[in-house]
Structure 1
Amino acid sequence: MANVSSVLEFMHICENLKTTKRTGWVNAKITNPESISDHMHRMGVLAMLIKDDTLNKDKCVKMSIVHDLGESLVGDITPFSGVSLEDKYQREKAAFINLCDKIDNKEAGDEILSLWLEYEEGKTPEALLVKDLDKFEMILQAYEYEKREGKRLESFFETTRGIFTHPVVLKWVEELYEQRSKLQYKE
C-alpha cells in the first residue's frame, strides 16, 4: 500500500502550481494572469491534439503536464529573472529530485524525473514537440490577453519568432499570427 501521507505531501507542494501566477504575465501587469498549472494543463490538451503518428503522444501529454513541476518549489524563473540557464537548471533539477523522492511510488517518481530530464535535454522528437507547445501556449495566451486587455504584448511574440519546428505547431502559429494581425489595440 502506498504511503498516503507522502502522496498528500507531494500534492500539497504541487498546489503551489495552482496559486503561483506566471511571472511574465505578472510583470506585464496582466489582470488575473494564468497560473503555472493553467499553462501546463493547456499544454497537455495541445499535446492531445497533435496528429503525428511518429510521436508517442502519451509521453508528450505526460511531459507537458510535468515539465514545470519544479516550479512548485523554485517559482517561475524567466529569462529576465537574472538567473543563469545553468543555475535555473540546477535549481529545477534539485526541486524535481526532492519532489520525486517524496513519491512513495518509485516507478512514478522515476518516470516524472525522466520525463523532465528528457524535456530539458530537448533531443527526442517528443521533447522537441513539447518545447514547441510550451512556447506556442505562451503566445496563444499572450494573444488572448491582447484581445482581453487591448494592449500589445509584442515581447512575448519576439522571443519565440523563428523557433518553432513541428509542422503542426508551425501551422497553428501561422494561424495565430493571422488572427493577431486583425486585432485592434487600445494603446
Structure 2
Amino acid sequence: MNARKLLDSLFVAERLKDTTRHCFTSKGRHESVAEHSWMMTLMAFFMRDEFPDADMDKVIRMCIIHDLGECFTGDIPTFEKNQTHEQIEENLLYNWVSSLPEEYAIEMRELYEEMKERKTVEAQIYKAIDGLEALIQHNLSDLSTWIPKEFDLNLTYSDDKVAFSDYLKSLREAVREDTIKKIEEAK
C-alpha cells in the first residue's frame, strides 16, 4: 500500500480510539472500540496453542478488523443492535473497503464474509472471543457501571458462541464464576 493510502486508511481507523463502547475499564472510563479489538487480538495470540488446527493468524486478522464498521456508525451495544443497524454499518464499511487497494479490499471482504457466515473454525473462534472479551471487561469494570440487564447477560451471553469448543466452554465458565463472585461480593 502506498504511503498516502496507508495514512488515509489509518486516519479512518483511528476513529476507533475515540469511539467508546458501553463498557467501562477497570479504572472507570469508557472503553474504546480500539481497546476492545486489541484485547481480543491479545486473547487470540494467547489461545494459539489451544487450537493447533486453526489458522490463528487469520483469527487475529479477524479480531483486528471486526469492528472497523464502527468508524462510521459508532458502537451500538449488542443488546440494542438490530438488523437495520447491521445493514447500515455493513454498507458504510464495504463502501470504505472498496476504496482500498484491490488486494486489501478483496482480503477484507473475504474475511468479513467468513466472519458473517461463521462456518469456519476461525470465524467461530473470533466470534467467541468477541463475546468473551466483552464479558471479561464487564467483570473488570465497577459493578456500578452495569445496567440491570447486564447482570443476566454476563451470566448467559456467548454460551452459544463457545459451544463448539471444550476450551472455550471452560473459559466461559471461568468468566461466569468471576461474574457470580463479583455480584455476590457487592451484596
TM-score range, shorter chain: 0.7 to 0.9
Partner of 1:109 in structure 2? 105
Deviation at 1:155, TM superposition (A): 4.3
Partner of 1:84 in structure 2? 82
Q: Which residue of 92, 95, 104 corresponds with 1:98?
A: 95
Partner of 2:179 in structure 1? 180
Alignment of structure 1 residues 112-151 onto 2, 5 Å: 112-146=108-142
Partner of 2:29 in structure 1? 32
Matched, 1:55 2:69: no
Tell me the distance in 2 between the aligned counterparts of 1:150 and 1:74: 23
Secondary structure of 1:55's partner?
coil
Tell me the distance in 1 between the aligned counterparts of 2:177 and 2:79: 28
Secondary structure of 1:174's partner?
helix
CA RMSD of aligned residues (A): 2.4
What count of residue pairs does the alignment treat as equivalent?
177
Tell me the distance in 2 between the aligned counterparts of 1:162 and 1:138: 13
Tell me the distance in 2 between the aligned counterparts of 1:124 and 1:68: 19
Tell me the distance in 2 between the aligned counterparts of 1:155 and 1:146: 16
Tell me the distance in 2 between the aligned counterparts of 1:89 and 1:121: 14
Percent identical: 25
Once the two structures are superposed, what CA deviation does each residue of 1:108-145 show, in whole Å capped at 9, x if it has no partner?
22112211121111111111111111110010000001
Gaps of 5+ in 2: none
Tell me the distance in 1 between the aligned counterparts of 2:36 and 2:153: 15
Deviation at 1:89, TM superposition (A): 3.0
Which residue type is aligned with residue 102 of structure 1? S
Partner of 2:13 in structure 1? 14
Deviation at 1:99, TM superposition (A): 2.2
CA contact (8 A) 1:9 1:102 kept: no
Gaps of 5+ in 1: none
CA contact (8 A) 2:114 2:123 kept: yes
Tell me the distance in 2 between the aligned counterparts of 1:134 and 1:121: 15
Question: Which structure is higher in helix share?
Answer: 2
Secondary structure of 2:53's partner?
coil
Q: TM-score of the superposition, structure 1-length normalised?
A: 0.82
Deviation at 1:79, TM superposition (A): 4.0
Alignment of structure 1 residues 146-165 onto 2, 5 Å: 146=142, 153-158=150-155, 160=157, 162-163=159-160, 164-165=162-163
Which residue type is aligned with residue 127 of structure 1? A
